[in-house]
Amino acid sequence: MTYDLDRRTLLRGGLFATGLLAAAPLLAACGDDEPSTEATGAAGAIGAGSLRLSWVKNVEFAGAYIADTNGYYKEEGFTSFELIGGGPTATPAETDVVTGKALIGISAPDTAAAAILKGAPIKVIGAEFQKNPFCILSMADNPIKTVADLKGKKIGVQATNEAIWAAFLKANNIDPASLEKVPVQFDPMPLTTGTVDGWMSFITNEPNALRLKGFEVETMMFADNNYPLVSEVYVVKTETIEKRRATLKAFIRAQAKGWKENLKNPEIGAKLAVEKYGKDLGLELEEQILESKDGNKLILTPDTEKNGLFTVTPELIQQNIETLKFAGLEITAERLFDLSIVEEVYKEDPSLV
């Protein structure tokens, strides 16, 4: 069993990534090099494109794998399209976007907000995950189903997730002294031995890893308990929004086509992750299929079924802005989000919804 468990250290825990925040003044200075015009129309007219993934090439990016394999990027006018993997030694996606290494980056609202507040000229133009993937994992014979169940319990929290954990407690008016936070690493096996009662994890990851080992588990999602941050958001330079709208629309259309395929059959993306894009990672197909199915549940909601993939309703945007305050991030919706690209895509082609 391979564990894809330490991604939180770079993605969600990356909220306070010193490399990103220290580089913010430089990033702001690098944000003015976009061309003023762009070619549109015929296949290959846009030129090369690139997407910086938020983590290594596992099934989490199934839609992009399908778009690439099925030629959707090329159909939309890209001469080539590079999928740039992330990982424990990778720079933040925001850095790669602003310095021009990647056209688009996949990140999280908290990470993006922190960068913007430090001067990075970026915005979020869409979100894959409509529900935050963090959860509290517990054993079925000692379940934690509600925030009230946390009282008196020992909860395993990774050091790099402590900021998010603290924000979650604040959002739910939970006194940290009412429970015991236990420092842990990322392999959830101590949960199975009773060392802790609960484990901070991704709904798509550790629960499935334990299920495949034969354990019965319970999960309580942060998204269902006053922590409604969207996730896997698309981050681009503000100048790209202004000067390369057709390019970004082409990207959104290709992504939507790819994700719609994976929503129909989650095994497609899992197989591409295991056999092609993440071939060197030692991924297990059964686990990747389970992760793909759970990821699909975070992507497809009544709102995205109605409005289209990657859209975020005004109500959910405002909930995100309010939630970020629990992490000490005061930012306006207008400064963080610009959903106009995605909205225009579905207005121009309702069949994509």
123 and 54, same structural domain?
yes
- Local confidence band at 186 (pLDDT 50, 70, 90 cut-offs): confident
Instruction: Outline where 100-195 has alpha helix (H).
Output: 109-117, 162-171, 189-192
Residue 75 lies in a domain: yes
pLDDT of residue 160: 78
Q: Is residue 35 part of a domain?
A: no
Q: Based on the fold, state whether residues 105 and 245 are members of the same structural domain.
A: yes
What is the domain count for the chain? Answer: 2
177, 192, 221: which is the final residue of a domain? 221
* Cα–Cα distance for residue pair 297/223, rounded to 1 Å: 12
| Domain assignment present for 56 | yes
For residue 184, tell me if it sits in a domain.
yes
Please give the helix or strand (H or E) that residue 47 lies within, else none: strand 47-52
Pair 106, 83: CB distance under 8 Å: no
113 and 56 belong to one structural domain: yes
pLDDT of 44 strictly over 80: no
Q: In terms of domains, do 206 and 235 share one?
A: no
Q: Is residue 17 part of a domain?
A: no
Q: Are residues 238 and 342 both part of a single domain?
A: yes
More confident residue, 36 or 174: 174
Domain, as residue range, for 194: 134-221
- Whether 248 and 319 map to the same domain: the answer is yes
14, part of any domain: no
Q: Are residues 270 and 233 in the same domain?
A: yes
Is 30 contained in some domain?
no
Domain boundary among the residues 221, 249, 281 is at: 221
Residue 52 sits in a domain whose CATH number is 3.40.190.10
Do 97 and 105 meet the contact criterion of CB atoms below 8 Å apart? yes
Examine the domain organization and report whether 263 and 346 are in the same domain: yes
In a domain, 207, yes or no: yes
One domain, residues 114 and 242: yes
Give the span between the Cα atoms of 214 and 63, in whole angstroms.
29
Instruction: Among 197, 221, 245, give the residue marking a domain's end.
Output: 221
Cα separation, 50 vs 101, in Å, equals 8
Task: Please give the mean pLDDT across all residues of the chain.
Answer: 91
DSSP output for 125-139: EEEEESS--EEEEEE
pLDDT at 244 over 50: yes
- Can you tell me the distance from the alpha carbon of 214 to that of 111, in angstroms, rounded to the nearest whole number? 35
pLDDT confidence of residue 87: 81
Residues 207 and 314 in one domain: no
40 pLDDT band, cuts 50/70/90, is low
Lowest mean pLDDT, pick from 118-122, 143-147, 184-188: 184-188
Question: How far apart are the two ends of the chain, measured CA to CA in Å?
Answer: 37
The verdict on pTM exceeding 0.85 is: yes
Confidence check: pLDDT of 124 > 50: yes
- Are residues 138 and 126 part of one domain? no
Q: Which of 108, 167, 165 is nearest to 322 (CA)?
A: 167
Arithmetic mean of pLDDT, 14-38: 48
Domain identity same for 126 and 236? yes
pLDDT of residue 15: 43
298-334: pLDDT as tens digits: 999 999 999 999 999 999 999 999 999 999 999 999 9
